[in-house]
A and B are shown apart, each in its own frame.
Chain A
Amino acid sequence: MEKFLLRLSDTFARTPNAVLKFKSLVFSGLLVLTALMVLGIYTRTELDMTNESFLNQTDPAMLALNEFRRQFGSDDSVMLVYRAKDDDVFSRNSLLAIQGLTNDLRYWEQLDPANYPESLRGVEVDFAELTHIRRVQSIANLRIQRNEGDTLLSNRLVPAVIPESDHALADIRARALEVEDNLLAFYSADARFGAVMIKTDFGAKPVENYVPAVDVSDVILDDGFVSFDTFSAAESFDPGFDASAEIQEVSFETVNMMDYTAFHVATKAIYQKYSNQFEFYPVGNPPLMEFMLDILSQMQVLGLLMILIFGLLLYILFRSFSAVIWPLVTIALSMTWTWGLTVWFGVTISQMVSLTVLLVFAVGIADCVHVMSGYFSFRRQGKEHHEALSLSYGKTGLAIMITTITTMTGVLALSTSNLQPLQVFGYMSALGVFLAFVFTLVLLPILLDLWHPGAPNAADASLADRIGLRWNSLPTGSKLLIAAVFLAIIFTVLDPWVGAYIALVTLLTYIVVNRQAAILSTIPYLVAHRPWTIMAVFATTFIVCAYGLTQIRIDTNISELTREGSEIRIAYETVDENMAGAMSMMIMIDTKTTDGLYNPQLMQAIDTLQTCINEQYSDRVTRTHSLANIVKDTYQVMSDDNPAYYRVPNDAQMISQLLYLFNSANPEDRRALVSDDYSRSHISLNIYNAGSYEYQQFFTEVSEDIEEVFSPLREEFPELEVYPTGSMALMMRMADEIANSQFSSFSLAFVVISLIMIVTLGSLQGGLLAMVPNLIPALLSFGLMGLLGVPLDSDTILIAPLIIGIAVDDTIHFMTHYRMELIKTGSVSKSLRSTITDVGQAVLFTTMVLGLGFALLSFSDYLGMAKMGFFGSAAIIVALLCDLFLIPAMIMIFKPTFGVKDADTTISFREKLA
């Protein structure tokens, strides 16, 4: 095995110069293939950004939701909550304004776009988007039902001409607050808040090229509809039916982020006109997606800044532009090929492609930095270009290969997931990581051959070198003054946190650039002096973080993924505090029996379940609504408004007749609550926004209640199905599935990586020892989240393993190099010292570049991203500390020989420091 590894190292050492022999062939070949990849990207890329693409269509939650949607349609709507600035939504001014706004939204065709802004936040205002509006309801057009003697009046709450007298206005207010059905849905109990419900056709609009099957020219109506006898005494005739007739299934247009955003922007242009009277808090998919789009464009800026920081740090650390350009080219090519090959295989790409880009970027940078760090240091030692190349690849090639394998293993483990985009992500990322390795091996030598820095001390010292020299020649006073001015500028111009970040980057870079040699050579002595102290510090951290890990909460909460004080979060909080809650959930009831819902026991069970939910979960549920409410309301109304009749009658015929009026309602409205044959219906629940963890518990509890309430009906309805569903349920299922996927892929990756380490490091002891520093970064970032009470959401949990994978790459480099040195020298001390100085620099550099680069993501307004930026860079930095302190301490204490026979295990640093 040892020989094999040495041979492998030799092969890597020979690779760059072998490649250079066929330079033009390789280069032109790459060029042609790259052009092919670019062609593929432009012509064959298929993006599916919908959330639904995440779950397999056969997943039970998806089946349930599809079933629900087929029956009851889309429930995408905007709840535009407003606060009256005069604290009374029933004041004359508020009523006038809400009337104006309601009419503007309903009859937007009559508005003159010239009176509105052309664009909002860079998105064009296009009123045609408002075609999606299906219905607008507010105080202005609500109807209130009143009983007067034997007459039932159904008049508008607010007359078309708003009254002026205080008395009349007070009367409107009093009448409104009496109606419990509308309370919290259209106005708050204290009348400070109101809401406009905007129903849309998102998700329920047939695809553009939909052609009804009945359009075929020779299709005619069946005779059954016309062959009735006009003089028959029979009350009805049977038009007949044919169960084998083919029913066309309409597909609906999928809605993407841009559709929602464009719609919301147009709505906003209209409601903004009323901001003198109202403060607005819109909730629902359109405003949420507008926020997400903002986040995406912010991510583009952050991404660019990240590349800028990568570039700047690479330049400062290596003091050559070639060290900036060539890694970027190598990475760009890896990414192009990954994307190109994926789409040539005909695979649909999801939004997770951005994570692949991030991973390939990180892995590519690490690969290149290790090679270049070696190359540059050999050059600085005076080695000739080709020799330096060969030495550098010989030193790093094996470790790069192993990190490539381990990272690929980690991401490939995701291919076992049930979520299709995760599978694609797994394969695509594995491909990307592999290609980054290949291009580092094949392309980077050619690029470095094209342009590379000259020998040190040559006259063509780079700009960085010259600036460095000039800086060093300045007196300390001037240096301090410049530093002070610099700090003053960044803290005045920038946000304090951004300022602190820049200051930290500058300070660390300064220290690393000026003191790296000193730091790296001191470390072995420091460790040798106090190995047990270091062990103790890490062990304590380990234990504390392990405890933290037990405290971690896996929880996705839409509004808590945004920063405190952000518009969207305030909107959700306001709606939760003052109105019926921003979220909804459905309980599907399928009796599988025609007219099953007329059954009084079943209807009473529905009513009982609602009462039970309203009483038991009043902290989560604000209101419930179902067919039972309609039955009870009508029963009371038809019985002289006697409250004793506010109940479900014990008679199927009575129920059916009470529903008579409802049956005659608009079929779209009726079908939104109950199926044509009265076999299926649902209870809708308004719920407060909460995290997936809480929802999950709630779902479990409600499912138990359902079982309890409905089980006595099983005899009559053996096929009865009652279950919670809705987009909310789907999201929970997704979060659950992601967490499970990640957990299993994590465990799988851990086992496989351990095996790889055992094989590479030549001993069980060594392999297991190496897994300790590999585990600490993960443990630390998750443990820290647990200790700080930061929930692990589905987005962070997706990205976390990547960052940890990147963090452990350096550890693998460290261990692999150490073992190779041990094989060569046979001395623990020598190997350790050379590993710390040789690999230490590369590890220091990759940590600087990636750790500080990723830290930039902490500034994202999207906490899913910010958390991963912060805890990710923490993991990367901790990995560095493990490499520099923990591993040496462990080696000094346990003296593993990694299967090297007769190794000299004397530690010779202690004496020197003393």
Chain B
Amino acid sequence: MSTSRILWLTSGILLAWLEPWAGWNQALAESLSGLEIMERVEANDRAASDSAFNRMQLSSCRYGVKDNRITCAERPRIKSLESVGKNYGPEGKDTRSVTIVLEPAIERGVGMLTYAYDDSEKDNETWLYLSALGRVKRIASSNSDDDSEPASVFGSEFTTEDTDTGKLDEYSIRILEETTISGRDVWKIEMIPGEEQARKSRYSKVNYYVDKERFVTLRAEMFDQYDTEIKRLLAERVEQVNGVWLARSLTMMNLVSNRLSNMAFLEMYTGVEVEDDFLTTRTLTDVPFRETELENLRLQLD
């Protein structure tokens, strides 16, 4: 694989680091259609990703089963990140976000700043900062690609496709059944990508299990072109943060390679006041500036 490919693949990653399985606490509405339910989940996601400050940890490992529990069978590889994001544009559909690596130590200080535009005519921009080199590089890639493949989220089992939101009208969505997951009532909703969407997707269909009361996805099953389930998502620790129901622990299992990645939101705040200045390359290179600004964000929350 050439570097160009990698750069291109990765430039889209930060668009979607915010997880979509959160939802506003909504009154239970039995008569909703599949599309309406997913729109509700989606609307919450957008609200949750605006002016947000996050600290998350990705733990990846080969997993096995011991005493009926799914657990890492080797020491997990841990990556922890800090990120801040804010929505822009008339409808709030453009995003700017910055992500800094805290762990592993060898990558500490590596950062990425991304400006993503809803307008497909406008190229997305990403700045990459390597602390060992002390340099920032701007990476531009076209936004309108029909052949963009889902990229991994920081090398984990999560891909941009799993975390991306939007374009619900390009799927055919239907409620398969009403059931329960861990004692909670859920809708089992099937989403099949339409022709256009199928071109970009690794999945032939995804089944979501959405909490009827909280509009949070508790489980999702991803199927490949042979209609075999290849990945499974389990959401746990659903908590209300700043009025939003969120799953703090998301575990994506790759059922073929028997590897999993757990995405844990150690800190997660929405609706914070983010200075526009913070979402510039200065945050990448100027460590004292960054630390001061982050401290200010934390102060808002206490």
Contacts and interface: CB of A to CB of B under 8 A. Distances in A.
Interface of A: 106-107, 109-110, 131, 141, 143-145, 150-156, 160, 181-182, 205-206, 210, 212-214, 216, 218-226, 228, 230, 232, 235-248, 250, 595, 598, 630, 633-634, 637-639, 651-654, 656-658, 660-667, 669-673, 676-677
A155 B259 CA distance: 33
Nearest to B182: A220
Contacts of B73: 241-243, 245-247
Contact of B8 (A106, A154, A205): A154
B107 A660 contact: yes
Contact of A181 (B2, B66, B103, B152): B2
Interface string B77-116: 1101000000000000000000001111011001000000
Nearest to B195: A110
Nearest to B131: A657
Nearest to A157: B4
B7 interface: yes
Nearest to A637: B3
B299 interface: no
B40 interface: no
User: 4 closest Cβ contacts across the A-B interface?
Assistant: A245-B64, A145-B4, A241-B72, A245-B66
Contacts of A245: 63-66, 71-73
A151 B75 contact: no
Contacts of B150: 666
Nearest to B261: A667
B284 to A, nearest CB: 13
A27 B80 CA distance: 81
8 contacts: A154-B7, A182-B2, A241-B76, A662-B1, A664-B9, A664-B13, A664-B154, A666-B149
A213 B73 CA distance: 14
B35 interface: no
A155 B5 CA distance: 10
Q: Which of A153, A237, A246, A651 has the most CB of B within 10 A?
A: A153
Contact of B72 (A150, A240, A634): A240
A657 B9 contact: no
A755 to B, nearest CB: 57
B130 A241 contact: no
A568 to B, nearest CB: 29
A638 B133 contact: yes
Contacts of A657: 106-107, 110, 130-133
Given A228-B266, A236-B57, A247 B7 contact: no
A235 B61 contact: no
Interface of B: 1-11, 13, 55, 57, 59-66, 68-78, 80, 101-104, 106-107, 110, 128, 130-133, 135-142, 145-147, 149-157, 159, 195, 198-199, 225-226, 228-229, 232, 234, 236-237, 248-249, 251, 253-259, 262, 264-267
Contacts of A639: 133, 135
A248 B66 CA distance: 11
Nearest to B199: A107
Contacts of A210: 228
A27 B106 CA distance: 83
Contacts of B142: 155-156
A220 B266 contact: no
Nearest to A241: B72
Q: Which of A225, A235, A246 has the most CB of B within 10 A?
A: A225
Contacts of B266: 228, 230, 232, 236-237
Contacts of B132: 651, 653-654, 656-657
A636 to B, nearest CB: 9
A145 B66 contact: no
Nearest to B250: A225
A638 B130 contact: yes
A151 B128 CA distance: 10
A221 B62 contact: no
A102 to B, nearest CB: 9
A672 B301 CA distance: 43
B259 A676 contact: yes
A219 B155 contact: no
A270 to B, nearest CB: 17
A32 B265 CA distance: 74
A677 B74 CA distance: 10
A124 B128 CA distance: 51
Nearest to B133: A638
A244 B262 contact: no
B2 A145 contact: yes
A598 B153 CA distance: 21
Contact of B60 (A154, A218, A676): A676
Given A206-B256, A235-B102, A661-B10, A152 B107 contact: no
A28 to B, nearest CB: 52
A691 B161 CA distance: 45
A225 B258 contact: no
Q: Which of B4, B10, B130, B262 has the most CB of A within 10 A?
A: B4
A152 B266 CA distance: 33
B65 A152 contact: no
Contacts of B106: 595, 598, 652-653, 656-657
Q: Which of A637, A660, A661, A667 has the most CB of B within 10 A?
A: A661
B80 A630 contact: no
Nearest to B11: A154
A243 B137 CA distance: 41
Contacts of A144: 4
Contact of B249 (A225, A634, A656): A225
A633 B59 CA distance: 29
A154 B155 CA distance: 20
A131 B225 contact: yes
Given A154-B4, A243-B74, 19 more contacts: A106-B147, A110-B195, A131-B225, A151-B139, A206-B228, A212-B229, A222-B72, A228-B57, A230-B248, A247-B73, A630-B1, A630-B6, A657-B133, A660-B128, A660-B130, A661-B6, A662-B1, A664-B13, A672-B1
A391 to B, nearest CB: 68
Contact of B71 (A150, A228, A241, A665): A241
A583 to B, nearest CB: 20
Contact of A661 (B7, B59, B75, B103): B7
A226 B236 contact: yes
B155 A237 contact: no
B15 to A, nearest CB: 13
A383 B61 CA distance: 86
B69 A638 contact: no
A598 B103 CA distance: 16
A676 B77 contact: yes
A141 B104 CA distance: 35
